[in-house]
């Protein structure tokens, strides 16, 4: 059930202050799988408070709330304690996409039988490519409803019949990362052949860097990543604050008259691909000065000239940057949006519908997208639908800098990755009021 909407306005057009971001959801989810699969040889610090991460941690610790586990028409008894009770058990990850992909590979190595399911939208998000790869390695996985989509039945442990598997590079990088995380514990190791161009490469590089922190040796030559069989080492992984969350503050700065915001904990040499926001937002006059253990954002007057933005390596930044361009009337062109259609919602369509409310069109032609701002109108108040997508809410929130009033549906949707987003907005002078529709 959707929560109440919020009306937000920004009387203060020159925001300043310090924003403490939660740990990276991407790093946290990888680290938690590594901790579980290593039987706690890997220790994790600064775990994200994001709802997706909390869900994943609860499942891995056997503490998932039974209220989230729903009996299916098969009559199976839903359980809430991992694989420790009578199998098969139903494990419901809700809308947590990363958890679905990572747990699919994780449970192939565990004793017992489970059914992994999720929200209605999760059942529409494909997982067939990952399942096919795991089956090729020897995993026993079956679909319980629609082929290629959750729910899936997994019976472990995997009896490896092949050490090599191929996977397309232009699909979700989470499929690849899921395989890499279990690779060290496969008896024959893992040789992963990436077919074609690799989408979201920084996320794969993040996974491999974190594996290195846990003592895992690997090679990456051309399009082949090889991981020998080996144990995870006793190690500590400290999760960096979330650069994806930082992107919304860059957007607010870009739409402000002046801005000076400090984000502690972020560093210039991040594992996170979304740290590319520093480079992107430099085009909008935002400088990033790394000092005092964080990054300081400042707005400087600058005419936006860059016309093409490629999000192939950082797709989670696309909504944020596109909304900023629309608000500024900057008719840019965007590429690398292919994976946006299989996220929490079809993000391309969602952007098209919501931007139309300020008179801006996002026109698609041969996987290239261009803004038409010829009828842009910032004189009215609008209500933004979120489509159960946290990034829709947070990408559109900066519009309050240029609109008289902005209403955003389902304010609790941000809990998925950034639970304190609204209170952080209030801390820099935004007015945020809940509306009970």
Domains by residue range for the chain, with CATH: 5-22+242-435 (3.65.10.10), 25-238 (3.65.10.10)
Based on its alpha-carbon atoms, the radius of gyration of the chain, rounded to whole angstroms, reads: 22
Query: What pLDDT, on the 0 to 100 scale, is given for residue 66?
Result: 35
Residue 383: strand, helix, or coil: strand
Residue 90, both tokens:
């139903």
Closest CA to 362 of 321, 418, 399: 321
Is 316 among the catalytic positions?
A: yes
Q: Half-sphere exposure of 24 toward its Cβ, with a 13 Å CA cutoff? A: 28
Query: What pLDDT, on the 0 to 100 scale, is given for residue 171?
Result: 83
Identify the active-site residue in 92, 274, 316, 410. 316
Query: What pLDDT, on the 0 to 100 scale, is given for residue 368?
Result: 94
Buried b (16+ CB within 10 A) or exposed e, 33-66: bbbbbbeeebebebbbbbbbbbbbbbbbeeebee
Residue-wise pLDDT tens for the chain (437 aa)?
467 999 999 988 899 999 999 999 999 999 999 999 999 999 999 999 999 999 999 999 986 543 333 333 333 333 333 334 455 889 999 998 899 999 999 999 999 999 999 999 899 999 999 999 999 999 999 999 999 999 999 999 999 999 999 999 888 889 999 999 999 999 999 999 999 988 888 899 999 999 999 999 999 999 999 999 999 999 999 999 999 999 999 999 999 999 999 999 999 999 999 999 999 999 999 999 999 999 999 999 889 999 999 998 899 999 999 999 999 999 999 999 887 877 778 999 999 999 999 999 999 998 899 999 999 999 988 999 999 999 999 999 999 999 988 999 999 999 999 999 999 999 998 999 999 76
CA 111 to CA 131: how far, in whole Å? Answer: 18
**At residue 240, what are phi and psi to the nearest 5 degrees?**
-75, 150
């Amino acid at each position: 059930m959707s929560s109440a909407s919020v009306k937000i306005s920004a009387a203060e057009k020159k925001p300043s202050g310090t924003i403490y971001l939660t740990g990276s959801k991407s790093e946290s989810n990888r680290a938690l799988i590594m901790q579980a699969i290593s039987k706690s040889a890997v220790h994790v610090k600064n775990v994200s408070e994001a709802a997706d991460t909390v869900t994943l941690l609860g499942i891995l610790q056997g503490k998932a709330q039974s209220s989230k586990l729903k009996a299916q028409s098969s009559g199976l008894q839903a359980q809430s304690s991992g694989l420790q009770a009578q199998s098969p058990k139903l494990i419901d990850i809700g809308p947590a996409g990363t958890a679905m992909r990572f747990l699919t590979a994780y449970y192939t190595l565990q004793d017992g039988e489970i059914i992994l399911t999720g929200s209605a939208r999760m059942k529409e998000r494909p997982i067939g490519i990952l399942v096919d790869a795991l089956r090729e390695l020897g995993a026993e996985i079956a679909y319980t409803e629609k082929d290629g989509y959750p729910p899936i039945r997994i019976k472990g442990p995997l009896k490896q019949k092949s050490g090599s598997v191929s996977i397309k590079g232009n699909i979700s990088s989470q499929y690849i990362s899921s395989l890499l995380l279990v690779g060290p514990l496969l008896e024959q190791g893992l040789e992963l052949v990436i077919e074609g161009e690799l989408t979201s490469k920084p996320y794969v590089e993040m996974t491999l860097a974190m594996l290195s922190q846990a003592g895992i040796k690997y090679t990456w030559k051309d399009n082949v990543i090889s991981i020998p069989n080996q144990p995870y080492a006793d190690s500590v992984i400290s999760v960096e604050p979330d650069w994806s969350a930082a992107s919304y503050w860059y957007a607010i700065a870009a739409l402000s008259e002046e801005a000076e915001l400090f984000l502690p904990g972020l560093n210039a040499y991040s594992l996170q691909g979304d740290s590319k926001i520093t480079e992107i937002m430099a085009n909008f006059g935002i400088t990033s000065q790394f000092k005092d253990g964080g990054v300081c954002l400042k707005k400087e007057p600058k005419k936006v000239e860059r016309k093409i933005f490629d999000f192939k390596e950082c797709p989670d930044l696309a909504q944020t940057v596109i909304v900023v361009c629309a608000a500024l009337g900057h008719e840019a062109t965007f590429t690398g949006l292919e994976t946006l259609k299989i996220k929490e919602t079809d993000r391309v369509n969602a952007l098209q519908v919501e931007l139309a409310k300020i008179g801006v069109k996002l026109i698609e032609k041969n996987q290239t997208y261009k803004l038409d701002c010829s009828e842009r109108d910032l004189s009215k108040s609008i209500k933004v639908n979120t489509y159960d997508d946290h990034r829709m809410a947070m990408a559109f929130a900066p519009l309050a800098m240029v609109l008289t009033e902005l209403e955003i549906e389902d304010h609790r949707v941000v809990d998925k990755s950034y639970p304190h987003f609204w209170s952080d907005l209030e801390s820099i002078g935004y007015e945020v009021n809940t509306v009970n529709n």
